[in-house]
Structure 1
């Protein structure tokens, strides 16, 4: 598999205090199986769907360094040069939290924040090139930046990555899609009013595809997960915003169940 174009989502992982609990939850809800933990790399554990790598989970670092207040999914964006991307992040008002860090021969990572504090990752592929499966049940399908400060995101991300942008025309919400060439790769939703609870930070919501959103929600709630929004039908699929028992928010979407016409978009 060739390295993905710069700025394209290429991987997702999350840190969990209860790693075995995360395995049980995502194994049931998304059908994931898990590989052997790599003690050399902090017990980093890959998740698989039908034998293809789709994500990873990891326990907190020894001593608590780098441990978030709550678990969260981190989306990684592809880069041909993680060091150069880190420099642009700093130059445009973002923060480099970690890295660039070489991970053996797998690749080089950066953990960063945009000027509004949204956490994301950068990945320069080595032997590990990213998702082995996308857009199918159990795998990554889409991601969107949910932010209270959309103007900061719109200035920052296209300056750091080679993004064009289109906005959804009409409607009463502010939604843009960042594009690499003609391909939309990342959504940006303005979190206006009470869209996010006061205690919730702006974040990137990672969507995983499922065969049946309602059935997946049934499994999720039975395992102690939370439904924040939906399920709702859309032109892109039936989706819901949810969270796992350890606080990590994510999305579920049945890509095969669509309703209505896709909204018109305009260049910005």
Structure 2
């Protein structure tokens, strides 16, 4: 069996609100493993419950779980953020207009977790994991490197995440409705208000970005593996990125570091 090392969320802190892990809920996990293994070079090992661990060089980078067969959940990537007190944070989610969907509950090997939705309906998770920090300088093909909330407008949800996760905000300077959330002085996530351009079939949602060495290669590979290019590659301050879906419809982004 492949030895599993500490989860590889590339951040230097496990402070409240820091990124912890990303998890895919999908209808056909075996097909998802085949797709992401071919795209990112992941291998897979058993995880808690019905979840598999996606591994890169033996290091956990993501989780893949099966949707309940009696529920018509869309395939989706969900980011999890750290919480020093998951039960209290779940109470704050409700208090500030969000919804608790699952938990809080204890999971073997992962501590206490909860899955929730913000006031605009975007789903995210919280975990009380208190293990060692992930290495901040790791930046390899296939690693999750950033997460961004695509929502209708940022004002209300910024206040929600500040209250629930203790974030500080840094408004954008380009005149657009963009905010960067900071945890312990470090960027943790971004919020982008897209108004009516929010995808009609998804609504507000978190978008996980995975590092790729060549974004054009990645887009060709996604298409060849049965996925779809949703938004073509474009240059951003963080590098060249594009939004895609896997064959089961889960939306994610691929991001090539700036030259």
Q: Normalising by structure 2, report the TM-score.
A: 0.89
Structure 2 CA distance, aligned partners of 1:182 and 1:58? 32
Structure 1 residue runs of 4 or more that deviate by more than 3 Å after TM superposition: 129-135
Asked if 1:226 is matched to 2:233, the reply is: no
**Equivalents in 2 of 1:136, 1:100: separation in Å?**
33
How do 1:61-210 residues align onto structure 2 when only pairs under 5 Å count?
61=68, 64=70, 67-125=71-129, 135-171=139-175, 173-193=176-196, 195-210=197-212
Q: How many angstroms does 1:170 deviate by?
A: 2.4
How many angstroms apart in 2 are the aligned matches of 1:218 and 1:10? 30
In 2, the alpha carbon distance for the partners of 1:131 and 1:244 equals: 27
Alpha-carbon shift at residue 137 of structure 1 (Å): 1.5
Note if contact 2:51-2:65 (Cα within 8 Å) is conserved in structure 1.
Answer: yes
Query: Residue 58 of structure 1: CA displacement?
Result: 1.1
Distance (whole Å) between structure 2 residues aligned to residue 130 and residue 113 of structure 1: 26
Partner of 2:27, secondary structure, is: coil
TM score, norm. by length of structure 1: 0.86
RMSD of equivalent CA atoms: 2.0
Looking at structure 1, the residues matched to 214 and 21 of structure 2 have their Cα atoms a distance apart, in angstroms, of 23
Secondary structure at 2:226 match in 1? coil
- Answer yes or no: is the 8 Å Cα contact 1:79–1:124 preserved in 2: yes
Alignment match, 1:21 = 31
**Post-superposition offset of 1:70:** 1.2
Change in Cα spacing, 1:140 to 1:242, as seen in structure 2 (3 Å) is same
- Cα separation, 1, equivalents of 2:143 and 2:108: 25
Secondary structure of 2:199's match? coil
CA distance in 1, matches of 2:208, 2:58: 21
- Shift of residue 191, structure 1, vs aligned partner: 1.2
Match of 2:41 in 1: 31
Distance 1:199 1:182 in 2: 35
Deviation at 1:251, TM superposition (A): 0.7
Secondary structure of residue in 2 paired with 1:201? coil
Query: 1:169-191: per-residue Cα shift (whole Å, max 9, x none)?
Result: 124x2111011132111100001
Alpha-carbon contact 1:9-1:75 (below 8 Å) kept: yes
Distance in 1 of aligned mates of 2:204 and 2:168: 22
- 1:1-20 to 2 correspondence within 5 Å? 4-20=14-30
